[in-house]
Amino acid sequence: MVVGAEFQIPAIEFRTGSPDLDRGTEGWYQLCKKVREACETYGCFQVVYGKISRKIRDETFGLLKELVDEVPLERKQKNVNPKPYHSYFGPCSQQSLYEGFGIEDASNYDSVESFAQLMWPDGHPYFCETMNTIVKQMEELNNIIWLMIIDSYGLEEKSESATMSYKTLLRMMKYMAPSSEEYRRGLHAHTDKPASAIICEHQIPGLEIAGKDGQWIKLSLSPTSFVFVVGDPLMAWSNGRMKAVKHRVMMNGDKDRYSIATFTVPVEGMIIKTPDEFVDEQHPRLFKDFDFMDFLFFSFSEQAKHIESADQIYTFASLSPLISDQNHAHVDN
Ligand SMILES: O=C(O)CCC(=O)C(=O)O
Ligand SMILES: [Fe+2]
């Protein structure tokens, strides 16, 4: 079942230049509260963020279209990375509408340049500048949201247990139009394996999140919005307070959908550890400490193929196997 416009996730505005974005002000703490409530109730929210301009969004998607349409498949397939979810995926039998590219550490200009040199003989400097700029802006937005999460739990002073070194993975996606009124899957239902994600779509909707009662909610986003999504590691870090929301992309009609997403990928060796502040008698510790990269590899392993996406974190790191069934509703893919 899909529910349409009658229900939407919260939209939280981060006004450019507003003192609300200065850490420690009253407005800041009001935003912290909204962010925390949205992440705990829905596992995601829309952030209205005009600081990333319409112009750069349009330029980004123009370049993504050029990449998809003009670069030959042999070159696209050079976008490889041993880390799961970091490489090129072309349309395949399970996901015939989806095409996606990955750039690890994309807020670093050199990473974008290395990618572009594989795709274009001249290394396409305009592509590099534009992608690197939008990723840096999305990373800045992500840093604000993470600080708000930390402050919303009063963990400002506990910086060692709350800070995390990460690299930003950029994924650039195209979902082909099914060219019919038929409703078809663009991306399978999943919870995100990186700590969190920020999604930016271009004009064509398609993202859906799983609601409490197993229904799918189609998101309708404003052109200045981004969607922040809680991933499994952030859920585990918060001792299950924040929800890792299941989501998917569904397509219909005759227009292709383009989107980009920046993922918070903890660096090699980062241990996800629930701070003691999240644990008390009513909230026993749910997860053991785990190495993020081991979890990422596990969730893309043969063994994990047989485990539902949202259950993988419980199989990998739960202290009590029973907990998984109580914590999330099962919905069909
Ligand atoms: O393209 C989208 O809107 C969603 C992408 C997504 O959920 C993912 O890549 O994990
Ligand atoms: Fe996702």
Tokens matching residue 206 = 């398609």
How close is the Cα of 275 to the center of ligand 2, in Å? 25
Ligand 1 neighbourhood includes 199 CB (under 6 angstroms)? yes
Quick one: which of 248, 110, 120, 88 has its CA closest to 184?
248
Amino acid identity of 307?
Answer: I
Question: 279 alpha carbon to ligand 2 midpoint, in Å?
Answer: 28
Our measurement of the distance from residue 311's CA atom to the centroid of its chain's CA atoms, rounded to an integer in Å, reads: 18
Which of 219, 227, 249, 265 best tests ligand 1's pocket when mutated (most atoms within 8 Å of CB)?
249
Closest CA to 106 of 129, 83, 88, 77: 129
pLDDT, tens digit (0-9, with 9 covering 90-100), for 299-308? 999 999 999 9
pLDDT in tens, 89-127: 998 888 889 999 999 999 999 999 999 999 999 999 999
Question: How many whole angstroms separate alpha carbon 108 and alpha carbon 5?
Answer: 38
How confident is the model at residue 162, as a pLDDT? 66
Helix (H, G, I), strand (E, B) or coil at 124: coil
pTM of the model: 0.95
The per-residue pLDDT for range 4-42, each reduced to its tens digit, is 545 789 999 999 999 999 999 999 999 999 999 999 999
The predicted-structure confidence for 51-79, as pLDDT tens digits, reads as follows: 999 999 999 999 999 999 999 999 999 99
Distance of CA 328 to the CA centre of its chain: 19
CA-to-CA distance for 151 and 6, rounded, in angstroms?
32
Nearest to 243 by CA among 8, 37, 40, 10: 40
Name residue 169's beta-bridge partners. 263
- Ligand positioned closest to the Cα atom of 190: 2
- Could you report the predicted ipTM of this complex, rounded to two decimals? 0.99
Which of 46, 87, 199, 262 is the best mutation target for the ligand 1 pocket, counting ligand atoms within 8 Å of the beta carbon and taking the most? 199
Yes or no: domain 2-328 corresponds to CATH 2.60.120.330: yes
**pLDDT tens per residue, range 217-234:** 999 999 999 999 999 999
Which amino acid is located at 8 in the chain?
A: Q
Cα 100 to middle of ligand 1, angstroms: 10
Residue ranges per structural domain of the chain:
2-328
Question: What is the share, in percent, of the chain residues with pLDDT greater than 90?
Answer: 86
Report in angstroms the alpha-carbon separations of 94 from 1, 55, 97, 187. Answer: 21, 35, 9, 9
- Which distant-in-sequence residues (6+ apart) come within 8 Å of 298 by Cβ? 304, 312, 316
Q: In terms of DSSP bridges, do strands 216-218 and 2-3 run parallel, antiparallel, or are they unpaired?
A: parallel
